[in-house]
Chain A
Amino acid sequence: MDVPSRLDAGRALEARPPAGPAAPDAAEADLLARARDGNLFAFDEIVKRYQRRVYATAVRIVRRHDVADDVVQEAFLRAHQALGRFDLARPFGPWICRIAANLAVNHVRSPQAREEALPEAHAETPVRGGSPLVGVLETEARTELARALEGLSADQRAVFVLRVFEELSYKEIAEALEISIGTVMSRLSRARERLRVALTPYLGAAMARRVEGGER
């Protein structure tokens, strides 16, 4: 997964424009065209390209591997069925992730989901080493973040995931989840606020340390 190289809160002061769609990939468009014509091997390649990204979207929302697995399979199946309507000039990634997020939220809202036991494992597994955050924000902070993410509603997590990980615009998120842009704005704000409050002790220490260490 591509991640920022470091905790860079200072740059947050610069408002970011909504992410635009990535430039379509000619090889990918060719694969999709062949998949649309019934070539399952071409669709296999598409699945291989996007399976990790789609799984990450799903599991971050539903918080359970078995449910995320169902969501991922269903998302690819629906994408395949809808390929005839898909504009090959557009990037496939955001589209399949929107499908997965919609399925994930609908699952969590379903009566079946309410009967299921609460998840025992975190969707994200804290790991040590390799990250500049390690040593600044320790395992305790990661655990706290994972717990705070679980404390959000699935609706809040879905908006947070589509914005923060997929970098969709509010309009795209609204369309994917069939809600208004105002609802996107309020859910995202509340989600971030809850996470911020949960992490405040660690964020403060990290930012103070950054200032002491000087900017690169």
Chain B
Amino acid sequence: MSSHPGDRLSAFLDGELSAAERAEVQGHLRECAACTRELEELGAVDAFARELPVEAPAGYFDELPGRVRARVRAHSGSQIPGRRPAELAPRHAFRPT
């Protein structure tokens, strides 16, 4: 039997191995019931973790946009992302009428 995949089992689960490494792990799994079981359990851990909900204090998400806006305003002042100050003024702003 080929050597156990070790860290590569987790990467195999994620589809992050090269074709050659993947084939090697697949070959090992055909022969090793313990690693096959471990792979199943690793997948189950991910699925289980995704089932755990995340909760924030009541009303938190109602207030957050306003708090972010206040911070953005305080930090950016007259600065607008992606534009230099010279670009903010209309091109004809100083043109005599």
Per-residue B-contact encoding for A8-21, CB less than 8 Å = 1, 0 else:
11111101111000
Range of interface residues on A (Cβ < 8 Å): 35 or more
Q: Determine if A124 is an interface residue (Cβ-Cβ < 8 Å).
A: yes
Contact of A9 among B40, B52, B65, B67 (CB under 8 A): B40
Would you call B67 and A196 a contact (CB within 8 A)? no
Name B53's contact: one of A1, A193, A195, A196 (CB within 8 Å): A1
Would you give 29 A-B contacts (Cβ < 8 Å), ordered by A? A3-B51, A9-B47, A10-B43, A13-B29, A15-B14, A38-B80, A40-B69, A48-B65, A51-B64, A51-B65, A52-B61, A55-B64, A65-B56, A65-B57, A72-B68, A73-B68, A73-B71, A77-B71, A124-B54, A145-B49, A165-B49, A185-B7, A185-B16, A188-B11, A189-B10, A196-B41, A196-B45, A207-B40, A207-B41
Q: Collect the chain A residues with CB atoms within 8 Å of residue B6's CB.
A: 189
Q: What is the number of contacts between chain A and chain B, taking CB atoms within 8 Å? A: 190
B48 near A13 with CB under 8 A, answer: no
A131 to B64, CA, bound (A): 29
Main secondary structure of the interface of B (DSSP, over half): helix
Point out residues on A near B: beta carbons under 8 Å.
Answer: 1, 3-4, 6-13, 15-18, 35-38, 40, 43-44, 47-48, 51-52, 55-56, 59-60, 65, 69, 72-73, 76-77, 80-85, 123-127, 131, 133, 137, 141-142, 145-146, 149, 160, 163-165, 169-170, 185-186, 188-190, 192-193, 195-196, 199-200, 203-204, 206-207
CB closest chain-B residue, reference A66: B57
